[in-house]
Amino acid sequence: ETSVTLYGILDGGIGYNKVDGTVVNRTTGVRTDYSAKKTGMINGVQSGNRWGLKGSEDLGNGLRAVFQLESGFDLGTGNSAQGGRLFGRQATLGLAGDSWGQLDVGRQTNIASKYLPGVADPFGAGFGQANIGTSFSAANTMRWDNLVMYQTPNFSGFQFGVGYSFNVSGNQGWDIDRPGLVNNPDEANGKGITTGLRYANGPIGVAATYDRIEFDADDAKFTQWNLGASYDFEVVKAMVAFGQTRDGWFQGTDFGPAVNAGGVADTSTGTFRSLDGLKVNSYLVGLTAPIGNGKLLASWQMADPSNSPDGALGEFEKQHTYSLGYTYALSKRTNVYAIGSYAKNVVFQDDLDSTLVGVGLRHQF
Amino acid sequence: ETSVTLYGILDGGIGYNKVDGTVVNRTTGVRTDYSAKKTGMINGVQSGNRWGLKGSEDLGNGLRAVFQLESGFDLGTGNSAQGGRLFGRQATLGLAGDSWGQLDVGRQTNIASKYLPGVADPFGAGFGQANIGTSFSAANTMRWDNLVMYQTPNFSGFQFGVGYSFNVSGNQGWDIDRPGLVNNPDEANGKGITTGLRYANGPIGVAATYDRIEFDADDAKFTQWNLGASYDFEVVKAMVAFGQTRDGWFQGTDFGPAVNAGGVADTSTGTFRSLDGLKVNSYLVGLTAPIGNGKLLASWQMADPSNSPDGALGEFEKQHTYSLGYTYALSKRTNVYAIGSYAKNVVFQDDLDSTLVGVGLRHQF
Amino acid sequence: ETSVTLYGILDGGIGYNKVDGTVVNRTTGVRTDYSAKKTGMINGVQSGNRWGLKGSEDLGNGLRAVFQLESGFDLGTGNSAQGGRLFGRQATLGLAGDSWGQLDVGRQTNIASKYLPGVADPFGAGFGQANIGTSFSAANTMRWDNLVMYQTPNFSGFQFGVGYSFNVSGNQGWDIDRPGLVNNPDEANGKGITTGLRYANGPIGVAATYDRIEFDADDAKFTQWNLGASYDFEVVKAMVAFGQTRDGWFQGTDFGPAVNAGGVADTSTGTFRSLDGLKVNSYLVGLTAPIGNGKLLASWQMADPSNSPDGALGEFEKQHTYSLGYTYALSKRTNVYAIGSYAKNVVFQDDLDSTLVGVGLRHQF
């Protein structure tokens, strides 16, 4: 009586993380020696752990009702991921038409996270710091709340999408007017625009995306545009990407535990973070190469801060990430993987490195 | 090997909310200008977003084991609703017999929420402030924890139900006796009784309900009884309801963000709230009218405070709610809707109005 | 397209709890009269309420990918159990081979909880304080996070298992090295080892287990080994167990609400709690006896503290637990139960008793 599909991915293994060097407090300029390491169970490295429900109902005349509810969790502890959200990975309802596309409301990833990694990331937006999102923060599997999203159908390989979020993270705050009001909740709403285009035809893949988040408080506004392209030579598939970020950071990467408890977390790039004056150019060159039942994955990424945020102290250096991975299919739904990734000058700190080594098992149901 | 059914409802759209006027602080009597508005994604307006599991096992001799687990969430953010409960909408296990009825234990709605809206609410307990619960708080989809509920079978259209909750909200506190104890947890248990009768036969529907919650602390006790009736003239179905509330409020309605942070939320009627001395008479007149694949919904409601709570300052005015809605079926499981509702003197404030306008899509699976 | 199984257990009823006597503050030595009681809805008494997803994929050559996600909740309120975890009962992914056994990563119960109650607990690790875990804390359905677990196949009735947890409760903390660091998160990791053996053949069952948890902070380390055996005489199945605990307590039992808010909870044995100097010998004698569609369950347990924790004030007395239960099958998947259990000197307090009486319904799907 119901057309719902129950699905999921489980991913767990063993790994080693190390973040090492010195950290500069961007407010005081003081340098501190820093080392953090961990050997243990890893999970969600290739793909975040999830279970979900999705469905589609044919309404006639090429029209369909579509929905997807996807719940993320930590396999090590069983806790919900995405800040404790029940359906933190996706919660959408929409109408889809063969001729005009699909319109969804709810929480889901932005266009850059949908279109760019599929074209330009050998690691398919997975594998921790190896994923393209480490340098291209708007493509870092960023999810927005309260999002209205429209995407065209695929026209001869072309697809276009555009979305607007009334508040990218959390319930939309009211616009309040009353005497003595200190902070208007509406000014804390992160209003997001996401748009982009992708093209996939034969060996060629191309993606172009643009994202902007605006907070009325402090007139904060930050943007990112990205370009990606790939060509499949069959023995190897080559990928390149370039992007520019201005005045903030979208979906951040946490390289290690925070240095300054309750203060600036100088080992994280931060999420939905306005950083006036920051300019970053991002680059990626990567490849995948099929080898029997396996696939080799490799990329070099760089995030180059050509201008530092206003008032931030210390040097802002180029962050490089070198990654090598291997996946081997045990079946269509199950594979093992190995990953090694080294990043230097992480969070643009001139003497801070991050290393990730791991092996794991991934199963899709 | 299992007879469980996986089901759900998704509901999302776009809407506008405004709460506007002045607010009186009931403790100090001070008036404040107040305006709050929001245009954005709405969700769960016609029906709260949910997924659930339910099942029934035939044990022979007309006996069945029955269960239902229902999880509510916010489609905008993916967060759990009902205060973060996993199965916040319902969590019950019971035995059902063809001849004697059904006995359940667990969390579920009270009898007024089960029996009254089905008879007397054109909006079927949905559509935000348009729903009957805005004026009849015991029928406001109120859910009680730790509830033991008995309902008879349907006898020629008659059904009777009665339930007792050991604590309506949260874990039942112990009754502690020891030297120096300041607050006995048992006195904070909200002990609830819910009972009622419904009759449905041909064009006629009738419901009568009674609810009481008692807290030993401060000898707080509040009650509500309600009557509802409907007659289906086929071109139109007419509905009326009347109820009386004494000394408190059951399931509250939040009309806008709280005015006094950390203090009295004068834009909400409050939930499980003892208000000694309060007397409210509630009225509803409504109708539904089928129009092709669509249905028109309309109601006027009033909550008339004939006596104000002891010590509360400022006027207590009649709260009126005027609502008009329309639903259109795209299929048996999917519909679109439009809703407009205007309420004045909300929370009995003499100069505070609330407006809701929205359109949405609802899908059941 | 998917091989996943959706399953669950629901368990609810009515019961009475009482904890009565005096409580000694172990820090100050001060005695306080204490009584706490509760009559109300009970749930999860025979079996914790749960729903879950599990699956297995055949990878060929006797190899399988296996997973299990199990979510615990409170039927009275609908809240998640296990500290709010989404899949708090189990979250594992593994590979299983017919010839070599199974290797899992994720959260699950330790070996003592898997092997001992099946052999030596008439109450099958259920029924509240009647369960074997009240005296044998490592077998008290203890779950560890970040666990890597290996178990052999069943060889003629023999099975061996061993597991290591990088942190038994919560995310694994980093090992941090930097100037001015006060508490290194790595030292708060509870590193756990669990191992054991079981044998089941015809009427004979035997289990032997060993558990250890170590915290680098304060050089805390506590251990427990347990032995259990059973023989099925058909009219009755007899069970015995013996165990020794040193320097701490594994999975605790809460007998009543805490006496000293924010301080030592002297009505709970505490979980993952280092208690240097504590020595406890644990004993159990029990039986089950089939009676038609029903089964009688009975046990006597004792936890005898031969040495008290360093610095703890007051007497440490033998904790005795006497339990009697009855289950009656309404079908293969549904049963009713009754339980009575009386414990004296609970938490080793010389004048503190705990009584549990309840009846309930349990349904498996």
Task: Provide the mean pLDDT of chain B.
Answer: 95
* Confidence tier at C263 by pLDDT (50, 70, 90): very low
C359 contact B CB<8A: no
Residue B265's pLDDT is: 60
C131 contact A CB<8A: no
Domain range list for chain B:
5-364
Residue type, C115: Y
Question: What are the pLDDT digits (tens) for A164-222?
Answer: 999 999 999 999 999 888 899 999 999 999 999 999 999 999 999 999 999 998 899 99
The answer to whether ipTM exceeds 0.90 is yes
Chain C residues with beta carbon closer than 8 angstroms to that of B67: 10, 363, 365
Residue A272's pLDDT is: 93
CATH number of A16-48+115-148+156-178+192-364: 2.40.160.10
Say yes or no to pLDDT of B262 above 70: no
Instruction: Choose the closest CB to B87 out of C7, C78, C331.
Output: C78
A7 contact C CB<8A: yes
**A63: Cα within 13 Å, side-chain hemisphere:** 10
Question: What are the pLDDT digits (tens) for B151-210?
Answer: 999 999 999 999 999 999 999 999 999 988 889 999 999 999 999 999 999 999 999 999
Question: What are the pLDDT digits (tens) for A233-247?
Answer: 999 999 999 999 999
Question: Contact at 8 Å (CB) between A52 and A71?
Answer: yes
Task: Provide the mean pLDDT of chain C.
Answer: 95
Say yes or no to pLDDT of B75 above 50: yes
Strand partners, B52: B7, B70
Average pLDDT for C278-301: 97
φ, ψ dihedrals at B61, nearest 5°: 55, 35
Question: What are the pLDDT digits (tens) for B87-98?
Answer: 999 999 999 999
Residue C322's pLDDT is: 98
| Binding partners of C (≥3 Cβ pairs within 8 A) | A, B
Higher pLDDT, C79 or B30: C79
φ, ψ dihedrals at B139, nearest 5°: -105, 15
Say if the Cβ atoms of A4 and B8 lie within 8 Å.
yes
Say if the Cβ atoms of B53 and C13 lie within 8 Å.
no
Say if the Cβ atoms of B77 and A85 lie within 8 Å.
yes
Residue A150's pLDDT is: 98
B63 contact C CB<8A: yes
Task: Provide the mean pLDDT of chain A.
Answer: 95
Question: Contact at 8 Å (CB) between B338 and B326?
Answer: yes
Instruction: Choose the closest CB to A32 out of C65, C84, C178.
Output: C178
Say if the Cβ atoms of C174 and A77 lie within 8 Å.
no
Instruction: Choose the closest CB to B6 out of C6, C23, C39.
Output: C6
Residue type, A362: R
Say if the Cβ atoms of A57 and B363 lie within 8 Å.
yes
Chain A residues with beta carbon closer than 8 angstroms to that of C171: 74, 76-77
Say yes or no to pLDDT of A305 above 90: yes
Say yes or no to pLDDT of A2 above 70: no
Average pLDDT for A42-69: 97
Say if the Cβ atoms of A256 and C174 lie within 8 Å.
yes
Strands A5-24 and A50-60: antiparallel
Task: Round to whole Å and give the CA distance between A108 and A140.
Answer: 13
Residue B263's pLDDT is: 46
Structure tokens at B98: 């063809």
Residue to mutate among C59, C89, C105, C186, with most A CBs inside 10 A, is C105
Question: Contact at 8 Å (CB) between B57 and B69?
Answer: no
Residue B115's pLDDT is: 98
Say yes or no to pLDDT of C262 above 50: no
Question: What are the pLDDT digits (tens) for C194-235?
Answer: 999 999 999 999 999 999 999 998 899 999 999 999 999 999
φ, ψ dihedrals at C115, nearest 5°: -95, -35
Domain C101-176+183-364 has CATH 2.40.160.10: yes
Residue to mutate among C86, C107, C187, with most A CBs inside 10 A, is C86
Average pLDDT for A115-138: 98
Average pLDDT for B304-333: 96
Task: Round to whole Å and give the CA distance between B88 and B74.
Answer: 12
Average pLDDT for C256-283: 84
Share of chain C above pLDDT 70, in %: 98
Share of chain C above pLDDT 90, in %: 90
Shortest distance, CA B164 to any CA of chain C (angstroms) = 10
Average pLDDT for B62-88: 98
Burial pattern A108-120, b for ≥16 Cβ within 10 A else e, equals bbbbbbbbbbbbb
Strand residues in chain C grouped as ranges (E): 5-24, 31-43, 50-60, 63-72, 90-97, 101-109, 143-151, 158-165, 175-177, 191-201, 204-215, 220-232, 237-249, 273-291, 294-307, 319-329, 334-344, 352-364
Say if the Cβ atoms of B79 and A85 lie within 8 Å.
yes
Structure tokens at C313: 């004030």
**DSSP H helical segments within A177-309, as ranges?**
none
Average pLDDT for C330-351: 97
Residue B224's pLDDT is: 98
* Confidence tier at A141 by pLDDT (50, 70, 90): very high
* Confidence tier at C259 by pLDDT (50, 70, 90): confident
Instruction: Choose the closest CB to B106 out of C75, C84, C86.
Output: C75
Chain C, nearest residue to B191 by Cα: C40
Residue B27's pLDDT is: 87
Say if the Cβ atoms of C146 and A76 lie within 8 Å.
yes
B61 contact A CB<8A: no
Say if the Cβ atoms of C107 and A77 lie within 8 Å.
yes
B148 contact C CB<8A: yes
Cα Rg of chain C, angstroms: 21
Residues across chain A: 365
Residue B3's pLDDT is: 78
C32 contact B CB<8A: yes
Say yes or no to pLDDT of C1 above 50: no
Chain C, nearest residue to A362 by Cα: C93
Segment among A89-93, B7-11, C179-183 with least mean pLDDT: C179-183
Which of 2.140.10.10, 3.90.1150.10, 2.40.160.10, 2.130.10.30 is the CATH number of B5-364? 2.40.160.10
DSSP string, C307-325: EPPTT--S--PPEEEEEEE
B24 contact A CB<8A: no
Residue to mutate among C75, C331, C332, with most B CBs inside 10 A, is C75
Say yes or no to pLDDT of B261 above 80: no
Question: What are the pLDDT digits (tens) for A67-79?
Answer: 999 999 999 999 9
Neighbours of A203 (CB within 10 A): 11
User: For residue B288, what are the contacts with CB-CB under 8 A and spacing of at least 6?
Assistant: B122, B236, B237, B239, B295, B296, B297, B298
Residue to mutate among C2, C10, C89, C351, with most B CBs inside 10 A, is C10
- CA dist A238 to A133, A179, C66, C214, Å? 18, 60, 35, 49
Instruction: Choose the closest CB to C33 out of B63, B167, B179.
Output: B179
Residue where the block lists tokens 């304080």:
C129
Which of B321, B345, B342 is closest to B140 using CA atoms? Answer: B321
Residue B71's pLDDT is: 98
Task: Round to whole Å and give the CA distance between B5 and B310.
Answer: 49
Structure tokens at C345: 């000197």
Say if the Cβ atoms of C38 and B4 lie within 8 Å.
no
B330 contact A CB<8A: yes
Count of CB pairs separated by less than 8 Å, B with C: 143
